[in-house]
Amino acid sequence: MDIIPAIDLIEGKCVRLSQGDYDRKTTYNENPLEVAKAFEDHGVRRLHLVDLDGAKAQHIVNHRVLENIATHTSLVIDFGGGLKTDDDLRIAFECGAKMITGGSIAVKSPDIFESWIHQFGAEKIILGADVKNEKIAVTGWTEETENDLLPFLEKYTQKGIQKVICTDISKDGMLQGPSTDLYKKILAAFPDMYLVASGGVCSVTDLEVLAKAGLPAVIFGKAIYEGKIALKDLRPFL
């Protein structure tokens, strides 16, 4: 199982939200590069970098932070948050992202998202499936849609999508454990999917449970920043 720490960015700083609520923000470090280097020093190879300013502004904002981390580490970075245009993607890839994550764009402008799959290749495009009660939510999780999760995933696997980050918004940042049953349900329907669990991880035991459930990858952040998981504890998974 791939271990993928997350760095969420507001005003260039490393923060975490609770359940996607911008009014429930905690700043953990004003230097995201320092955080990324600590991950790398402990054997981590992947990084999930989220531009929360971009998600709100509907265009890429924190690309200089992306560029700084990509230039000064060897981490394989997937980048998301507010990517809406071909120009946003060009900037993200030029600044060092190896993959990008699109969530709201896949719901609101599917033609654009599908064009990215064809233009850049499915290996570089990750579908962000953020859910509340198994309904897709968009716009930084502030807006629920009527899109049911499994049909939404089915649509995009038929378009070539192979990688999906699924975040249960009710779990995110709450340190109450991940939605393992939901992920099992997705993997039962799409056994070949590179499904990335996201939200709720609060202990090494959670990681072990997800690995046992067959998850190919997991994203987490707050558990590290709050000291629930020490970076040295990740070594058995790396």
What would the DSSP string read from start to end of 148-187? EHHHHHHHHHHTT--EEEEEETTTTTT-S---HHHHHHHH
| pLDDT digits (tens), the chain, 238 positions | 999 999 999 999 999 887 777 888 899 999 999 999 999 999 999 999 999 999 889 999 999 999 999 999 999 999 999 899 999 999 999 999 999 999 989 999 999 999 999 999 999 999 999 998 889 988 655 667 889 999 999 999 999 999 999 998 877 666 789 999 999 999 999 999 999 999 999 999 999 999 999 999 999 999 999 999 999 999 999 9
| Measured distance between the N- and C-terminal CA atoms of the chain, rounded to whole angstroms | 8
CB atoms within 10 A of CB 151: 9
CA distance 231 to 130: 26
Structural domain total, the chain: 1
Give burial (CB, 10 Å; 0-12/13-18/19+) of 22: middle
CA distance 29 to 134: 33
Does residue 6 contact residue 50 with C-beta atoms inside 8 Å? yes
| Enclosing domain of residue 41 | 2-237
* pLDDT tens-digit map of 168-204: 887 766 678 999 999 999 999 999 999 999 999 999 9
* pLDDT tens-digit map of 16-42: 887 777 888 899 999 999 999 999 999
CB atoms within 10 A of CB 77: 22
Does residue 134 contact residue 145 with C-beta atoms inside 8 Å? no
Stretch (H or E) spanning 222? helix 222-225
Q: Is 233 in a helix, a strand, or coil? A: helix
Q: Which of 78, 88, 130, 172 is catalytic?
A: 130
Q: Which of 8, 53, 168, 206 is catalytic?
A: 8
CATH number of the domain residue 136 falls in: 3.20.20.70
Which position has the token pair 């900037």? 91
Q: What is the pTM of this model?
A: 0.93
- Catalytic annotation present for 8: yes
